[in-house]
Amino acid sequence: MNTEAEKRSLLLEMILFATVDGHLHKRELDFLRIVANELGIGETEFQDLFHQETKPLPIKSEMQRINQFYRLALLMHCDGILHEKEFKAIQQIALEMGLNPTAVKRVLELMKKAPNTVLDPNVVVKVFQEQHN
């Protein structure tokens, strides 16, 4: 992640995704706050992102797109409720990112089977790399 604009864009995409079901649950907000903190985005700027109507910037690196997809997948599961709108939205976002649909489906299935829906990030990357062969 190079620029502040790219960091804000990633977080903005996550905020848009978190509210796709019409609700922002406390656990989703907490997760977003953790990501904002990791990206070095302060509380005021974080709050301002909820009122922006700009579209997220495209992510150039495949590894960054995979990481963003995984963040979104974690966000989707963090409230303990898997909404159909979230499931469809994450698949559409992954498609728009240019990620392999088979790998996306496989990662989401692995997350469903995992005890706490968290996967080792190396497993996520491996699933996407397998699709290159």
CA–CA separation, 98 and 102 (whole Å)? 12
pLDDT for position 43: 94
Predicted TM-score (pTM) of the model is: 0.84
Distances (CA, A) of 67 to 3, 10, 44, 108, 126: 16, 10, 25, 14, 12
Phi, psi of 65 (to 5 degrees): -65, -40
pLDDT in tens, the chain (133 residues): 568 888 999 999 999 899 888 888 999 999 999 999 999 999 999 999 998 877 778 888 999 999 999 999 999 988 877 788 888 999 999 999 999 999 999 999 999 998 888 999 999 999 999 877 6
Owner of token pair 């604009």: 5
CA–CA separation, 129 and 120 (whole Å)? 15
Owner of token pair 């995704």: 17
Residue 92 belongs to what H/E stretch? helix 84-97
CB atoms within 10 A of CB 28: 21
pLDDT for position 89: 92
Owner of token pair 């498609």: 95
CA–CA separation, 56 and 34 (whole Å)? 19
pLDDT for position 133: 61
pLDDT for position 120: 92
